[in-house]
């Protein structure tokens, strides 16, 4: 989902770890090294990588802007190919028939059929275009705050993995516990209370669950 | 430090209590809720509230949606022990209006509609548009985390058990 859409979804993270002195060069280099790879003509199901905000379909960070105010802004792109089951079935049946005719046999072994299925699947992957999904990232490098413009589980997991792989620093997703611990300014004794909390019954006569 | 996935599941209830408390505060003590939050002029519950009741070994989900929807079913669900798991909010900050949906267990913001910005007519306008959008999103995030901070500080104080739960119970019973 794009930062510039009229309606956006945001998952918030905290960056844990320090960038080197030459932060801009470090970030740009690692974005380029982990840029999304085009898989349109490859027998590959998925490709995940970084791409510039302004040119999501030309993943070249040499000329792209990544600094906006006090934030690095770029995008995560996930290209995915899905082979519809019915198309796979149709092509597999044709391939099985062709193999039987060629070998003058009546049946294929289970192993031969599995290998043929994999071969057909990979052949179809080459012919299918990948569907790109682009999700923007705003990384406030001064406050170690990061916003990811998607709430989708798969996209967030891809972000967490790729971010750590790319920059050798990790990000922690903010949810009720982590947000209370990191963003609410609690004193140490309050954090101890937080750790021990249990659910409250809010109806009359209620207490802790 | 707890394992992240354990902490996520263990403390989901905190997010649900936050949204339930938020509804209670908006309904009964909005002035106190908004106090100290810069430029916040108004806040109210939008067109969607989702509640879940996991008590007595049952899992019930009650969804109330639609503009001008009454929340009577929601109040009935609260009386039966449900908590708010998702809520739509409308906030007036300065002169602008922010609409968004907030999920309790993750604090994720979705369908965030900040005040409209101008269309980008040329590539030169890109940087300004991005900075403006970041500024507008920051307002919504700051608001959510300011409200959550208020809730958490109360939740870990002795007053939660001695005062706040009683006030909330009275609100639920009287509604």
Q: How far is A65 from chain B (nearest CA, A)?
A: 9
Q: Considering only alpha carbons, which residue of chain B is nearest residue A10?
A: B109
Angle at A12 between CA A199 and CA B66, to 5 degrees: 70
Same domain, A98 and A36: no
Q: Does B163 touch chain A (CB under 8 A)?
A: no
A206 within a domain of the structure (yes/no): no
What average pLDDT does the segment A107-123 reach?
95
pLDDT at B123: 81
What average pLDDT does the segment A9-21 reach?
95
A181 within a domain of the structure (yes/no): yes
Q: Convert A191-209 to b/e letters by CB count within 10 Å (16 or more is b).
A: eeebeebebbebbeebeee
Q: Considering only alpha carbons, which residue of chain B is nearest residue A196?
A: B156
**B contacts of A193 (beta carbons < 8 Å):** 156
Is B86:B102 a contact under the CB 8 Å cutoff? yes
Same domain, A66 and A89: no
Tell me which residue in B116, B145, B153 faces A179 most closely, judged by beta carbons. B145
List chain B residues with pLDDT less than 50.
none
A206 pLDDT more than 70: no
Same domain, A137 and A189: yes
Interface of B with A in 85-144 (CB under 8 A): 103-113, 116, 120, 123, 126-127, 129-131, 133-134, 137, 140-141
**B contacts of A179 (beta carbons < 8 Å):** 107, 145, 148, 152
A74 pLDDT more than 70: yes
Same domain, A109 and A153: no
A40 within a domain of the structure (yes/no): yes
Q: Which of A67, A95, A127 is the last residue of a domain?
A: A127
pLDDT at A209: 47
CA B47/CA A155 separation, integer angstroms = 27
Q: Does A183 touch chain B (CB under 8 A)?
A: yes
Same domain, A20 and A98: no
CA A54/CA A136 separation, integer angstroms = 10
Interface of B with A in 7-46 (CB under 8 A): 7-8, 10-15, 17-18, 20
Same domain, A73 and A153: yes
Give the CA distances from residue A99 to residues A124, A127, B132, in Å, rounded to whole numbers and listed in that order.
18, 21, 61
| Interface touch A54/B109, C-beta < 8 Å | no
Name the CA dihedral angle for A93, A99, A101, A106, rounded to a multiple of 10 degrees: -80
CA B18/CA A207 separation, integer angstroms = 16
Same domain, A74 and A17: yes
For chain B, which residues make up each domain, given as ranges? Answer: 4-174
| Average pLDDT across chain A, whole number | 94
Same domain, A15 and A66: yes
Task: For residue range B99-142, list pLDDT tens digits in order.
Answer: 999 999 999 999 999 999 888 888 888 999 999 999 999 999 99
A204 within a domain of the structure (yes/no): no
| Interface touch A200/B160, C-beta < 8 Å | yes
What average pLDDT does the segment A105-122 reach?
94
| Interface touch B112/A9, C-beta < 8 Å | yes
Q: Considering only alpha carbons, which residue of chain A is nearest residue B79?
A: A203
Structural domains in chain A (count): 2
Domain, as residue range, for A93: 85-127
Q: Which of A104, A127, A150 is the last residue of a domain?
A: A127
What average pLDDT does the segment A110-132 reach?
95
A112 pLDDT more than 90: yes
Same domain, A149 and A120: no
Interface of A with B in 15-74 (CB under 8 A): 53-54, 65, 68-69, 71, 73
- Taking each helix axis from N to C end, the angle separating A23-33 and A153-167, rounded to the nearest 10 degrees, works out to 120
Task: For residue range A131-161, list pLDDT tens digits in order.
Answer: 999 999 999 999 999 999 999 999 999 999 9
Same domain, A72 and A146: yes
Same domain, A152 and A73: yes
Q: Does A197 touch chain B (CB under 8 A)?
A: yes
The total of other beta-carbon atoms located within 10 Å of residue B128's CB is: 13
Same domain, A58 and A95: no
């Amino acid at each position: 989902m794009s930062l510039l859409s009229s309606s956006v979804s945001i998952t918030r993270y905290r960056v844990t770890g320090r960038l080197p002195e030459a932060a801009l060069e470090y970030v740009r280099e690692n974005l380029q090294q982990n840029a999304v790879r085009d898989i349109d003509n490859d027998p590959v199901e998925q490709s995940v990588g970084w791409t510039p905000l302004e040119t999501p379909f030309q993943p070249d960070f040499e000329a792209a802007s990544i600094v906006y105010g006090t934030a690095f802004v770029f995008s995560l792109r996930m290209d995915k190919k899905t082979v519809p089951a019915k198309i796979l079935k149709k092509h597999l049946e044709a391939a099985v028939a062709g193999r039987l005719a060629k070998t003058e046999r009546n049946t294929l072994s289970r192993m031969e059929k599995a290998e043929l299925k994999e071969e057909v699947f990979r052949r179809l992957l080459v012919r299918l275009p990948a569907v790109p999904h682009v999700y923007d990232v705003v990384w406030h490098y001064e406050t170690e705050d990061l916003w990811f413009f998607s709430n989708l589980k798969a996209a967030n997991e891809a972000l967490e993995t790729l971010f750590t792989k790319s920059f050798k620093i990790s990000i922690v997703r903010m949810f009720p516990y982590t947000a209370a611990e990191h963003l609410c300014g609690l004193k140490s004794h309050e954090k101890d209370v937080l750790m021990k909390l249990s659910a409250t019954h809010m109806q009359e006569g209620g207490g802790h669950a | 430090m707890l394992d992240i996935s354990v902490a996520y599941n263990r403390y989901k209830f905190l997010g649900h209590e936050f949204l339930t408390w938020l509804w209670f505060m908006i309904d009964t003590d909005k002035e106190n809720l908004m106090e100290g939050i810069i430029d916040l002029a108004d806040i109210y519950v939008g067109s969607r509230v989702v509640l879940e009741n996991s008590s007595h070994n049952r899992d019930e989900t009650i969804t109330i949606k639609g503009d001008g929807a009454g929340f009577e079913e929601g109040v009935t669900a609260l009386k039966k022990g449900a908590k708010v798991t998702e809520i739509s909010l409308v906030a007036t900050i300065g002169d602008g209006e922010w609409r968004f949906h907030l999920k309790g267990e993750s604090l994720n913001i979705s369908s965030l509609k900040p005040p409209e910005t101008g269309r980008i007519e040329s590539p030169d306008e890109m940087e300004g548009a991005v900075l403006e959008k970041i500024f507008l999103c920051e307002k919504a995030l700051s608001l959510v985390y300011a409200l959550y901070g208020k809730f958490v500080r109360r939740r870990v104080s002795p007053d939660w058990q001695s005062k706040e739960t009683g006030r909330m119970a009275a609100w639920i019973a009287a509604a």
